Amino acid sequence: MPETMRDRDRLLARFLVSTEQMQQIESKIFAAGMPVAALMEKVGGLIARRFQILYPRTTHQRVGILVGMGHNGGDALVVARELYVRGYEIAIYVPSEQLSELTNQHYCYVSSLGVRIVDNVKDLTDCDVIIDGLFGFGLNREISGNLFEAIELVNKSQIPVVSIDLPSGIQADTGCVLGIAIKATVTLCLGIWKLAFIHEQAIAYLGRAELIDFDIPLADIQQILGKQPTITRMTADRAISNLPLPRSSITHKYHEGHLLLVVGSAQYSGAAILSSLGARATGIGMLSIAVPASLKPVLLNYLPEALIIGCPETEAGTIKSLPELDFNKYQAIACGCGLTERPSKVVKQILAANCPIVLDADALNIIAKLGTEISLSNRSQPTILTPHIGEFKRLFTKIPTTNKLGAASAATQASGAVILVKGARTVIAHNGRSIVIPDSTPALARGGSGDILTGLIGGLIATDRRADLDIAEVVATAAWWHSQAAILAATERSELGVDPLTLIHYLNTVISTDSNNLDCDI
Ligand SMILES: NC(=O)C1=CN([C@@H]2O[C@H](COP(=O)(O)OP(=O)(O)OC[C@H]3O[C@@H](n4cnc5c(N)ncnc54)[C@H](O)[C@@H]3O)[C@@H](O)[C@H]2O)[C@@H](O)CC1
Ligand SMILES: [K+]
């Protein structure tokens, strides 16, 4: 075996393909001798096996199957046959007149077995579960007519749906809905994750997404995607390998990084606390926190170990100026949470520091006013901008935001900064590469979550002493960690129970769980 199964799973989980790339990979497999029909048989068999685990016959006896004209429909017919011979009651609905050759062969054979073929999609509405094999990555135009009506009816029926490869109606590259799309309960993505899975507009249709590995040789994938693919997914093993763990047994606090946070105002003192607690979770060796002087006691109350720098403050309770600070002491600076937009001079001062800086929230609005490209043009060390989509629009007024992935790439190209665009699928772009955080939870949609992320990013950058430090990788690790902690907290406490202090508590819990369970949970 050329690769261990575990290494294969780990690598496969990182890849994302466009339709064109998938077709190129498929062509390589066929050119090497794999018969098209044999591959469909293999894939259909794997789907059928997974289906039987998800929906056993004992509880889901009646299965409706939607069959499209292309190979997605062919896969569905192989599944129909496999389930039929194992005792499921199958009803097949084929809305198209013309089937592709291989799909038609499967259709003829399945019909010859006596499987029930229905003329109307309404006849599937008494099924326990429906398998959607209408379209996969071959969907290339709006859905209309009886196909539209079939999808509409299935969506209204509330019957669980398992979509093969993609929910039919979702465009494989953009995640856009072409007219209408199946709202899947489970989507079994075939071979390699399609780009659609990382686009936010597809999320409501995907249900729970799983990858069905059908043994595409990694060499073929790597040949088409390149050794350093342009877009990848952040995964557990990848993120954990970037964490500052295990610590050297002879380390000391000055070896574990020194982060300066410049945060807070009388109005937003909580943001200062939360970003500081986020940084603390990274195990940072030394944490300095510059806040308006009046906030010192409250910060000390939460973080007795931190060096709190009380700054001169305005009447409004914002930082007026930074005291004399030697920026060379710090491995990173994170700035912006709860700052208000007043301290623009302070942000300008920080931009001159000769270390990586993370700018969030108010610091982003300040540099948007100063002019993003002008502000960042003289920086010799990495700058990390972490906008949500509203901040992004203010920062990069000329970049369209309909496609977040494209927007992040354009922004990094325009500014030279590492760009992290927050959302249900957070994207990190730098140097022509993008990393997507594939999982998150709406539990994070509440004030304070972003402040914690800023602290995490700053802390991880400051603790990372690798000579070949890939800054985008570290930023993506922080975003992955943040999402995973929220997912675990939401699982245990519901999506309503993930207040920021709870999230902070789960940050360290989730990585101890993940690093212990890596062998089984990829
Ligand atoms: N690439 C691979 O390695 C494999 C692919 N397989 C399956 O093959 C699928 C792709 O097959 P196809 O390329 O045949 O594509 P699809 O099965 O997605 O369908 C393409 C067909 O639908 C028609 N069509 C597209 N949009 C339409 C619309 N809006 N209304 C009506 N008709 C429309 C096209 O003209 C074409 O005939 C995958 O999603 C997967 O399910 C598997 O069988 C095996 C392995
Ligand atoms: K499908």
Do the annotations mark residue 165 as ligand-binding?
yes
Do the annotations mark residue 140 as ligand-binding?
yes
Angle at 89 between CA 83 and CA 91, to 5 degrees: 95
pLDDT at 517: 58
Residue 317 sits in the same domain as residue 387: yes
pLDDT at 514: 60
Relative to the CA of 100, which ligand 1 atom is closest?
Answer: 37
Answer yes or no: is 45 within a domain.
yes
Domain span at residue 300 reads 250-422+441-471
Q: Which amino acid, residue 193?
A: W
pLDDT at 66: 98
Residue nearest to atom 3 of ligand 1 (CA): 26
Nearest to 497 by CA among 506, 177, 390: 506
Residues with CB under 6 A from ligand 1: 22, 26, 39-40, 43, 68-75, 100, 135-143, 147, 164-165, 190-191
pLDDT at 522: 35
Residue 281 sits in the same domain as residue 153: no
Place of tokens 């009646």: 62
How much is the pTM? 0.95
pLDDT at 521: 38
Q: Please name the helix (run of DSSP H) or strand (run of DSSP E) that holds residue 206, with its range, or none.
A: helix 203-206
- Using DSSP's 3-state secondary structure scheme, residue 287 falls into strand
Nearest to 63 by CA among 104, 92, 103: 92
Do the annotations mark residue 271 as ligand-binding?
yes
* Dihedral over alpha carbons 423, 428, 429, 430 (to 10 degrees): 150
d(CA 144, CA 126): 24
Answer yes or no: is 515 within a domain.
no
Q: Which amino acid, residue 386?
A: T
pLDDT at 520: 36
Residue 190 sits in the same domain as residue 276: no
Answer yes or no: is 490 within a domain.
no
Residue ranges in the chain modelled with pLDDT below 70: 1-3, 5, 513-522
Answer yes or no: is 448 within a domain.
yes
Residue nearest to atom 8 of ligand 1 (CA): 71
Total tally of structural domains belonging to the chain = 2
Pocket test for ligand 1, best of 17, 46, 139, 164 (most atoms within 8 A of CB): 139
Pocket test for ligand 1, best of 72, 134, 177 (most atoms within 8 A of CB): 72
d(CA 95, CA 339): 59
Between the CA of 154 and the centroid of ligand 2 the distance, in Å, is 13
Report the CATH number that the domain containing residue 92 is assigned in CATH.
3.40.50.10260
Residue 211 sits in the same domain as residue 330: no
Do the annotations mark residue 219 as ligand-binding?
no
Report the CATH number that the domain containing residue 361 is assigned in CATH.
3.40.1190.20
For 169-196, what is each residue's pLDDT tens digit? Answer: 999 999 999 999 999 999 999 999 999 9
Distances (CA, A) of 355 to 52, 244, 350, 456, 474: 55, 19, 9, 17, 15
Do the annotations mark residue 184 as ligand-binding?
no
Token output for 516: 């212990």
Helices assigned H by DSSP within 32-100: 36-54, 71-85
Answer yes or no: is 478 within a domain.
no
Relative to the CA of 22, which ligand 1 atom is closest?
Answer: 1
pLDDT at 1: 46
* Dihedral over alpha carbons 48, 25, 7, 210 (to 10 degrees): -40
HEC profile for 299-363?
Answer: HHHHCCCCEEEEECECCCCCECCCCCCCHHHCCEEEECCCCCCCCHHHHHHHHCCCCCEEECHHH
